[in-house]
Amino acid sequence: MSTCICVIVNGKPVEIVAGASVAAAVARAGSQFRRSRSGEARAALCGMGVCFECRVEIDGVPQQQACMLIARAGMQVRTDG
Residue-range domain boundaries for the chain: 4-78
pLDDT at 78: 97
CATH of domain 4-78: 3.10.20.740
The strand ranges marked E within 1-81 are 4-9, 12-17, 34-35, 41-42, 55-58, 61-65, 76-78
DSSP H helix total and E strand total for the chain: 1, 7
**Residue 40 DSSP class:** -
Strand partners, 65: 55
Does residue 81 carry a pLDDT above 70?
no
Q: For 13-62, how does the pLDDT look when each residue is reduced to its tens digit (9 = 90+)?
A: 999 999 999 999 999 999 888 888 898 888 888 888 898 899 999 999 99
pLDDT at 1: 65
Does residue 80 carry a pLDDT above 90?
no
Average pLDDT over residues 2-22: 96
Global pTM?
0.89
Neighbours of 46 (CB within 10 A): 11
